[in-house]
Structure 1
Amino acid sequence: MLFRRRTGLPWWRKLVGWLWPSSGFKRAGQYLWHRIARLPGTAHSIAAGVAAGASVSFTPFIGLHFLMGFALAWLTRGNLVASAIGTAVGNPWTFPFIFTLTGQVGTLILGEHVSGHVPSWSWDALFDAPITYLSSFLPVVFPLIVGGIPVAVIVWLLFYFSFKGLLTGYRSARQIRLQEKKRTSGSDASQAG
């Protein structure tokens, strides 16, 4: 197959490459930016999609971020691919900070501190009475939900307006470059003829 390694990487190298890109985070960020900027659609749809994906990353529903991002992007007429890319805001490096922030905001709103309510992990309790054991985590998850909602709204607004401005500037600069290139190639052709 084209562009495939001759020998596959061991699983631990794949894991390291997933957690720390071999090309570096700057290069990965540049790739994501160019991928977002070249998506088809209006600046509004792409910005709304990225904002939807980024904002749902501030909720504690880790397994549902893609679906929630798609739903929010659909409601705001955003780009679904951009929302999937926007969920990259929530990743193993940022989740501890996100949950700390949303937990603090939730504690501030609810007026009670929940760190003392965290039950200890027990596989036996999980298998003996899964509903009862998992519901014992609700006092910890509820402040994350309550704190995640206002933070997600603020994140949506920040990402939407910043990406809309960036995309508008990027596209207008790209259009100017293409017109300049077309004009210079047209003048070269007329001089050759």
Structure 2
Amino acid sequence: MLFRRKKPATWSGKLREFLWPRKGFSRGLRYLSMRVLRLSSSPHSIAIGVAAGAASSATPFVGFHILIALALAYMLSGNLIAAGISTALANPLTIPFILAATYEVGLVILGTGGSSALAGQDILHMLGHLEFSHLWEPVLKPMLIGSVPLAGTSAVVFYVAAFYAARLFQSRRHVRRQSKMRTRTVGWADEL
């Protein structure tokens, strides 16, 4: 085999690699960001797609983030690939924080602060019994209301960051291509 290890990995080595990758956790983030920056769209289109993905990731609709992001990007003429990739912001590590933040912000907006706040065990108990009528008022309503400002804020922040990053990346790529063309043209002219 072409890419086979000379010495097979041990079970403990596979476990260590799974828990803490050799190249680090940031490698995946760098890969996704470069995939977005290398898209051949305008910086505005890329930024709209990233903003749509970030906004949908800040909602409590777990499992529907990509559909929401694609719909938003399509309606706003954003890049669909950038929208799909940026939904990776909502992953198993960040979803508990997103859900807790939407719940807390919703309670603050509704003005119910600490009086009707439920503990995590109470919410899990309600979710386990699927009592939607009992779940709407204390949990779902605050989460939906709290997700609106969080989604709007994350959309604005990620739009600005993605727009300037895409514009910078594309301008640097254009300069590199122009310098390569000049060296090829000079080299070709010298041969004549």
Cα–Cα, structure 1 residues 22 and 92, in superposed 2: closer, same or farther, change >3 Å? farther
Mapping 1:62-141, distance limit 5 Å: 62-112=62-112, 113=114, 114-116=116-118, 119=122, 121=124, 132=131, 134-138=132-136, 139-141=138-140
Q: 1:84 to 1:120 in 2, by over 3 A?
A: closer
Instruction: Describe the superposition over 1:3-43 as per-residue Cα deviations: whole angstroms up to 9, x where unpaired.
Output: 799x9xx9xx69x74x7655322221221121001112211
Aligned-partner Cα distance in 2 for 1:3–1:152: 43
| Identity within the alignment, % | 39
Matched with 1:155 is 154
- Report how far residue 111 of structure 1 moved: 1.0
Shift of 1:54: 0.9
TM-score, normalised relative to structure 2: 0.81
Say if 2:55 is the partner of 1:55.
yes
Residue 149 of structure 1 aligns to which amino acid in structure 2?
V
Pair 146,120 (structure 1): closer, same or farther in 2 beyond 3 Å: closer
How many positions carry a matched residue from both structures?
Answer: 185
Listed one character per residue, the Cα deviations across residues 101-151 of structure 1 (whole Å, up to 9, x for unaligned) are 22221111011134336636469x95xxx653x443322122111111111
Structure 1 CA distance for aligned equivalents of residues 67 and 53 of structure 2: 9
TM-score normalised over the length of structure 1:
0.80
Equivalent runs, 1:31-42 vs 2, <5 Å: 31-42=31-42
Alignment of 1:29 onto 2:29: yes
